[in-house]
Amino acid sequence: MSPEPTGPEPRPVLPRSTTILLTLAGATIAAFGLSAARGVFTPVFLAFVLTLCVHPLRHWMQAHGIRRGVATGSTIVAVFALLAGLTAILITAVAQFSALLPQYADQLGQLGASIAALLEKIGFGTEQVQTVLQGFSPSRIVSFVAGLLGNITAVVGILVVILTTLILMAIDGSRVPALLTHLEYRRPSIVSAFNDFATGVRRYMVATTILGAAQGLINWLVLLILQVPGALLWGLLSFICSFIPNIGYFIAIVPPLFFGFLTGGWPTAVAVIVFYGVFNSIIQSIIQPKFVGNAVALSETLTFVSVLFWALVLGPVGAILAVPLTLLARTILLDSDPSMAWWRPFTGDRTELKELLEQEDHEIRARRRRGNQNPEPDGSPKP
């Protein structure tokens, strides 16, 4: 059963090709602008997501008659606790990694020499081989990881921006329900879109945090059993990488695989791949979609591309915030405009496609039954 046509398509004001080119140009300018302002935009958006996650606490307290000021202060404390936990995890991870790596300087040197010898056999030049050897020094690796996180001055500046924004957003958040009620009479579609965005982001972040913690705990225990050095550190890494859809698992498995190979050889490396693959596949492919449900409603391809895009625009934190950022873009561009709602299924929302998908599945099963009931003369099923 096909959906009924809504009527003749309205004639566009501009040619479709012109509209597409203007849209791409505007998106490119916006991406470059966000990239240039990443030092401000990224911490502000992170503070916004954290404030959204703890907003139900304020709502619950006010619903039970607690004063607005006390509810606001409790929200600020809760968000500060989340931020302090994230900061402590990053500091602990960097400190443990910096202390662990020099202990395996000899193994790293031997591994680098083996790779250099292999490159020489293939035909690489002496300078290229020396560059590879220098890359296996512990100081170089620690410097690379520290460079990804930024220097101390940059981190302190980001924390100041986040803390200030959190306080101001928590204070302004006490007036959001009244603001939405006021706006609902004039722009109900916008209010509905942003309510759905807030609900979706909360469900995604809470579910990902809980499942990521379970994932990190399981990985830590597995690495302890396999006697891989730095098991707690790699468990923390897998927790952080659980916020990166699709490719977070591949990032998290590299360090334990590397250190497992240094200490136990190929058997330990294969065991890490098998156990990581089984546990993480179950959590990310079966459990997480069941918990998150249709709150995110982003297709797998769009989710993967969004991780690459936001990482390019905003850096590593952009990959972690890729899903909330994409949901915000869809809310602003599609959900808040009723005339653009027909685009939503293209982003992965299957609500309007549910009946069509069920009909297709029913037709496939019917064709399969007919094929089994009408075999060929030689006894084989009819193709």
pLDDT, tens digit, 9 for 90 and up, residues 197-217 = 888 888 888 888 888 888 888
Average pLDDT value for the chain: 77
> What are residue 307's phi and psi, to 5 degrees?
-60, -45
In total, the chain counts a number of residues equal to: 383
What one-character DSSP code corresponds to residue 342? G
3-state secondary structure of 195: helix
d(CA 201, CA 207): 10
The two three-digit tokens of residue 79, written as one number? 């968000």
Q: What predicted TM-score, i.e. pTM, was given to this entire model?
A: 0.76
> What are residue 374's phi and psi, to 5 degrees?
-125, 75
Q: Rounded mean pLDDT of 173-185?
A: 76
Query: What's residue 325's pLDDT?
Result: 92
* From 3-12, 41-50, 226-235, 297-306, the region with the lowest mean pLDDT: 3-12
Residue 6 has pLDDT above 60, yes or no: no
What one-character DSSP code corresponds to residue 283? I
Degrees to nearest 5, angle at CA 176 with 26 and 204: 65
Query: What's residue 5's pLDDT?
Result: 55
Query: What's residue 57's pLDDT?
Result: 78
Query: What's residue 46's pLDDT?
Result: 86
d(CA 304, CA 300): 6
Question: Sorting pLDDT into bands at 50, 70 and 90, what band is 149?
Answer: low
Query: What's residue 206's pLDDT?
Result: 83
pLDDT tens digit sequence for 216-258? 888 889 888 888 888 888 888 888 888 887 788 788 888 888 8
Residue 266 has pLDDT above 70, yes or no: yes
**More confident of the two residues 187 and 378:** 187
**More confident of the two residues 68 and 217:** 217
Residue 88 has pLDDT above 80, yes or no: no
Query: What's residue 136's pLDDT?
Result: 58
Q: Are 238 and 208 in contact (CB under 8 A)?
A: no
Q: How much of the chain exceeds pLDDT 70, in percent?
A: 75
Query: What's residue 120's pLDDT?
Result: 67
**More confident of the two residues 373 and 319:** 319
